[in-house]
Amino acid sequence: MREDRMSLLWSRLNKRWFVAAIAVGMAVGLGQIIVNCYTGMANIDSPYTRWLSINTDSSATTIFFILLPFLASIPAGNMLKEDLDSGLFNKFKLQVPVARLIMQYAAMAFMTGFVTIMIPLLLNLLGYLLILPNFKPDNLLNINIGVFNFNTMLVSLYYSHPFVHACLNILLASVWGGLFSVFVLVNSVWIRNRFASLSTALVLELILMELDTVLPIDDMPSISPTDFLPELGDRPLLWLTALMTIALAAYCMGMYKLACRRAVL
């Protein structure tokens, strides 16, 4: 029954929006590769010194990570709200308990948000692996990119196993893409306007960005995803990134329970 319901939700998914969100992310990644190829790359460059998540001097990197919450939420963030408004959800809940049904919506939102972010980042990295020699970055030869303990998590892993470090970064960004999509899904139950509900994850990111600039604590580690999701960030800390991830997941779980109660009424 669960597999049948997930298949039904997959058939409900607007595949055009799903493909469009991935395509926008891929376009940003491809544009970044083209610009770097056009402007030229040094002999000491490798994929791990030029790909989208490490090259924070590129406007494409800024655009991608600012748009990340919105892109991740486009495919399935509003699916629950649409079915509640159309009455289709009421038909589903006659066959499946509400809590399990909403969990399946959340699972669909998380999976689509995860994939929407993973594919552009993975293809961008693979693109550079096809263009540049696959050698490890050197902390002296590549000092110009500025990868240090204070701006890169697990910096020793970056220099010893850069491909693993890049894959972990893609995983982290993709998990946040999934969480942002679930964040929109559980918030949409209380928001009438569909575009407003779809924008809640982006608004959250902008609020965190603003808090980073106004908090009067000198050298405070960043709490904004735009700073700790890129491989080369702005004062990221591993424990704080883990704490922010757990906090967002906890919020989604709490709102999930409230959404279940709301859906029963």
Residue 4 falls inside a structural domain: no
Find out whether 170 and 122 touch, Cβ atoms under 8 Å.
yes
More confident site: 154 or 261: 154
Domain count, the chain: 1
Residue 193 falls inside a structural domain: yes
Find out whether 127 and 33 touch, Cβ atoms under 8 Å.
yes
Query: With 80 as the cut, is the pLDDT of residue 32 above it?
Result: yes
> Average pLDDT, stretch 46-72?
90
User: Which pLDDT does position 219 carry in this prediction?
Assistant: 64
Query: What is the rounded average pLDDT for all residues in the chain?
Result: 86
C-alpha to C-alpha distance for 80 and 92, rounded to whole angstroms: 11
Q: pLDDT-derived band of residue 5, with 50, 70 and 90 as boundaries?
A: low
Judged by average pLDDT, the poorest of 6-10, 162-166, 197-201, 249-253 is 6-10
Residue 68 falls inside a structural domain: yes
Residue 152 belongs to what domain range?
Answer: 9-262
Residue 2 falls inside a structural domain: no
More confident site: 96 or 115: 115
Q: CA 74, 76, 82, 84 torsion: positive or negative? A: negative
Predicted confidence (pLDDT) per residue in 153-178, tens digit: 888 898 999 999 999 999 999 999 99
Q: pLDDT-derived band of residue 86, with 50, 70 and 90 as boundaries?
A: confident
User: Which pLDDT does position 218 carry in this prediction?
Assistant: 57
Residue 3 falls inside a structural domain: no
C-alpha to C-alpha distance for 49 and 8, rounded to whole angstroms: 43
Residue 99 structure tokens: 């809590």
Residue 186 falls inside a structural domain: yes
User: Which pLDDT does position 53 carry in this prediction?
Assistant: 92
